[in-house]
Amino acid sequence: MTEAEIRLSTHNILKEYSTDTGALLKADNLLLDDFISDAAEDVVLDLVQFLPESFLTDEDVTLVANTQGYTLTTEYLQIWAAQKNVSDGSPYPIYEIPITDRGLYEYVGQTDPAPIHYYRKGDVIYFVPTPSAAVTDYAKFWLVAAETAAMADAGPTYIPRVAHRLIVYKAAELIAIMCGDNKSSFNSLYLTKFERVKGVLGARNQSQPRFLRGSQGDLGGTRERTEYDPNWR
């Protein structure tokens, strides 16, 4: 759905139009767009737990000699994997370590042309040991991306099309709450649609056994810690 279609659907489900006398949602769409952006963010946070692959993007990091910290230019929710780019060979994993474990992986002043660990301080990535040489596109970070803060005219970038209606239901729910209706049926619509979307898109490849894999290095996540899919029948 385009942004205009999402706006119209939200108007339709609320039965509230900018041409109505005393309309809450004005023709300039300022108020409506604010709720749509909020709703899209909620949809991403719900969906990404079950279909993170739909939100994947990647960014290559170029090393600078004697520079340890790097900030990714892509806004992201999670780092799905980090790999060293290798010419004519298999990508090599770069593992995240806790800051408290730095002493196990480097000593003061140590440098290396090919660091294979990193830690994070906020959004800044620090390679361990400090890179000793400049290397173009040394590492590729696979990132679970966020939608843009303001929706583009073409609509969502990452949210699958069949889930676009979730934005409409969530925006309608938030607007209803703003108007003092805390018992609206929009949340029920949202949850019903969400379960259907999750059930289908959460297991797109039906030709393989459905096993869960931990994130790289078992860095933690929101999925149940089992070696099988508890929803498999």
Q: Is pLDDT of 229 > 70?
A: no
pLDDT, residue 112, reads: 93
Q: Is pLDDT of 203 > 90?
A: no
pLDDT, residue 224, reads: 55
pLDDT, residue 125, reads: 96
- Phi, psi of 133, rounded to the nearest 5 degrees: -145, 155
Q: Taking residues 89-98, what's their average pLDDT?
A: 91
More confident residue, 171 or 201: 171
pLDDT, residue 75, reads: 92
- Phi, psi of 19, rounded to the nearest 5 degrees: -85, -10
The answer to which of 8-12, 88-92, 136-140 has the lowest mean pLDDT is 88-92
β-pairing verdict for 69-71 and 124-128: antiparallel
Q: Is pLDDT of 139 > 70?
A: yes
**CA of 228: how far to CAs of 27, 53, 187, in Å?**
50, 18, 31
Q: What span, in angstroms and rounded, lies between the C-alpha atoms of 205 and 219?
A: 25
Q: What does the pLDDT look like over 159-196, one tens digit per residue?
A: 999 999 999 999 999 999 998 887 778 999 999 999 99
Cβ atoms of 33 and 58 within 8 Å: the answer is no
Q: What are the strands of the beta sheet with 95-96, ordered from one edge?
A: 69-71, 124-128, 117-121, 95-96
Q: What does the pLDDT look like over 57-79, one tens digit per residue?
A: 999 999 999 999 999 999 999 99
Write down the domain spans for the chain.
Answer: 3-51+160-201, 54-145
Q: What percent of the chain is modeled with pLDDT above 70?
A: 89
pLDDT, residue 232, reads: 52
Q: Is pLDDT of 219 > 70?
A: no
pLDDT, residue 151, reads: 92
pLDDT, residue 40, reads: 96
Q: What is the pTM of this model?
A: 0.81
β-pairing verdict for 130-131 and 111-112: parallel
pLDDT, residue 202, reads: 81
Distant-in-sequence, close-in-space partners of 146: CB < 8 Å, separation ≥ 6: 41, 44, 55, 75, 76, 77
Q: What is the mean pLDDT of the chain?
A: 88
DSSP string, 103-129: GGT--TT-EESS--EEEEETTEEEEES
Cα torsion through 26, 27, 28, 30, rounded to 10: 40
Q: Taking residues 92-113, what's their average pLDDT?
A: 91
Taking the CB of residue 78, how many other CB atoms lie within 10 A of it?
18
